[in-house]
């Protein structure tokens, strides 16, 4: 009887360690909040985040600022990622629109540079300035639903160290959040990469 309890305890301990390792280093789940990624993702949908998509990182909170122990890939334009917002550190799900080093220019109501060409809302041009510098190791994040997204147009480039991982495919589960956050059928203006 005592041996069975020890075996059961060992199995529970191993399972807990495996779950913690998986969540910290390999795969995590996130619930999409807000409307910034409509139509790709809706508020309340659960997505899988591949934490090891770009390398093996120390878990958040260990060693101060997040950093990679081993790196095997770099974020690319078009990837949908979970990242920490520079505004408040909260997790956000956004699409990478451009990767540094790159200079984005703002002219004639458009934000241009690399694969990105984005029509700006009236007044956004004066807020952004003439140029936006994306240093090496940084990305420019945008929501798919630009009119309702708080993204790099507000908080600027994001260090790729702040990317928790790449979002895998579509939602795993339907909406789990309040129904009033659900998709209303409003049209959205997405960004389109330039093809040169």
The least confident of 29-38, 88-97, 181-190 is: 181-190
Q: How far is CA 172 from CA 25, 48, 139, 168, 189, in A?
A: 20, 7, 26, 9, 25
15 located within any domain = no
Look-up of token digits 């408040």: 88
143 located within any domain = yes
16 located within any domain = no
Question: For residue 114, what pLDDT is reported?
Answer: 83
Q: First vs last Cα of the chain: how many Å apart?
A: 71
| Reported pTM | 0.76
What mean pLDDT value characterizes the chain?
A: 79
Residue 141 parent element (H or E): strand 138-142
In the chain, the number of structural domains is: 1
179 located within any domain = no
187 located within any domain = no
Per-residue pLDDT band at 157 (split at 50, 70, 90): very high
Q: Backbone phi, then psi, for 57, in 5-degree steps?
A: -110, 155
Residue 164's domain comprises 27-173
Condensed to tens digits (0 to 9), the pLDDT of residues 19-40 reads: 777 677 778 888 888 899 999 9
Residues 141 and 94: beta-carbon distance below 8 Å: yes
Residues 162 and 84: beta-carbon distance below 8 Å: yes
**d(C-alpha 174, C-alpha 5), whole Å:** 39
142 located within any domain = yes
CATH of the domain at 68: 2.10.109.10
116 located within any domain = yes
Instruction: Pull the structure tokens for residue 143.
Output: 């929501």
125 located within any domain = yes
**Residue 102 burial (CB count, 10 A):** 20
In DSSP terms, which residues pair with 102 in a beta bridge?
A: 134
């Amino acid at each position: 009887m005592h041996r069975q309890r020890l075996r059961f305890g060992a199995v529970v301990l191993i399972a807990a360690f495996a779950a913690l390792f998986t969540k910290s280093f390999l795969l995590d789940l996130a619930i999409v909040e807000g409307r910034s990624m409509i139509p790709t993702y809706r508020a309340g949908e659960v997505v899988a985040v591949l934490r090891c998509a770009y390398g093996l990182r120390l878990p958040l909170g260990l060693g101060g600022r997040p950093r990679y122990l081993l790196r095997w890939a770099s974020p690319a334009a078009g990837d949908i990622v979970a990242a920490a917002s520079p505004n408040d550190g909260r997790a956000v799900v956004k699409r990478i629109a451009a990767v540094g080093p790159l200079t984005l220019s703002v002219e004639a109501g458009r934000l241009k540079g690399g694969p990105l060409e984005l029509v700006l809302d009236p007044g956004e041009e004066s807020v952004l300035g003439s140029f936006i510098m994306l240093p090496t190791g940084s990305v420019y994040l945008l929501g798919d639903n630009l009119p309702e997204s708080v993204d790099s147009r507000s908080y600027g480039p994001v260090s790729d160290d702040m990317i928790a991982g790449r979002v895998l495919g579509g939602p795993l589960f339907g909406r789990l959040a309040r129904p009033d956050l659900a998709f209303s059928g409003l049209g959205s203006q997405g960004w389109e990469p330039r093809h040169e």
